């Protein structure tokens, strides 16, 4: 427990990783939702009947924040942070930190780009109501990589916890 890497204990490295996952996912979602929401409100300002059609697009970049939150929660659960019995060496802590990085980075970037893709998709919905279903597909493709990052992070955390 007393060993340190770069002046930080295992506990601190694990906390750092969990925090970065939550921060990265949260920032990605916040920016992504802001992007699409600005366009969505412009569309609704001109045609309020489009609200139901653009809402799923506006909600879509929100998932990255959830993945970051799940990652942080799993770190706390898997390594006993809730019970106050966390016993993590510096090397384990560093491994937990690296396990959180896929979600921290990919959710940050994919959230922003999913918002940008949703802006284009919202333009499709504004033009033709019937394209609302098709418009969801392209931002959903960006989501794939956020999901992959969550899977990789969970597998890495399971490997360390096991």
Partner 1 sequence: MTRLRVIADPKRYGFAVGRVRVLETNLLGPMTFERLLDARDFDRQRRILADTVYAGYLEGASTPDDVEQALDASLVDLYEDFLEHANLPGPIVAYFRVRHDFENLKARLKAEALGIPVDGLLTPLGSVSPEVFAGPADRLPSGVREAETRIRTALADEDGNLPPDEVEAAVDREMFTSLSAIAHQSGSRFVRHLMSLEADLGNVRAFVRSRIRGVPVADVEPALVSGGTIRTSTFVTLYRLPVEEGIARIAALPPLRRIEPEVLADPARLDVAIDALVAREVRIHRVTSIGPDPVVGYVLARRAEVTALKTVIIGTFSRVPVERLRERVREVA
Interaction site with partner 1 (CB under 8 A):
31, 34-47, 50, 112-113, 115-116, 119-120, 122-123, 126-127
Is the CB of 48 or the CB of 162 nearer to partner 1?
Answer: 48
* CA–CA dist 139, 148 (Å, integer): 15
Strand partners of residue 5: 8
Shortest separation between residue 55's beta carbon and partner 1, angstroms: 13
In angstroms, what is the minimal distance from the CB of 40 to partner 1?
A: 6
Largest Cα–Cα separation, the chain: 63
| Residue 41 or 144 having the CB closest to partner 1 | 41
Q: How near is the Cβ of 151 to partner 1 at its closest, in Å? A: 25
Q: Which is nearer to partner 1, 59 or 158 (CB)?
A: 59
DSSP secondary structure letters along 96-160? HHHHHHHHHHHHHHHHHHHHHHHHHHHHHHHH-GGGHHHHHHHHHHHHHHHHHHHHHHHHHHHHH
| Smallest gap from residue 142 Cβ to partner 1 (A) | 12
Nearer to partner 1, 52 or 123 (CB): 123
Instruction: Return phi, psi of residue 102, to 5°.
Output: -55, -45
């Amino acid at each position: 427990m007393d060993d340190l890497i770069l002046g930080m204990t295992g506990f601190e490295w694990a906390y750092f990783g969990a925090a970065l996952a939550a921060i990265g996912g949260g920032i990605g979602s916040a920016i992504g939702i802001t992007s699409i929401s600005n366009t969505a409100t412009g569309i609704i300002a001109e045609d309020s009947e489009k609200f139901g059609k653009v809402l799923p697009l506006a909600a879509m970049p929100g998932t990255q924040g959830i993945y970051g939150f799940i990652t942080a929660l799993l770190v706390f659960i898997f390594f006993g942070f809730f019970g106050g019995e966390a016993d993590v060496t510096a090397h384990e802590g560093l491994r937990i930190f690296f396990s959180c990085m896929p979600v921290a980075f990919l959710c940050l970037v994919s959230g922003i780009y999913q918002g940008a893709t949703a802006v284009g998709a919202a333009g499709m919905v504004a033009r033709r109501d019937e394209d609302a279903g098709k418009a969801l597909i392209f931002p959903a493709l960006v989501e794939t990589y956020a999901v992959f990052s969550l899977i990789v992070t969970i597998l890495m955390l399971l490997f360390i916890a096991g």
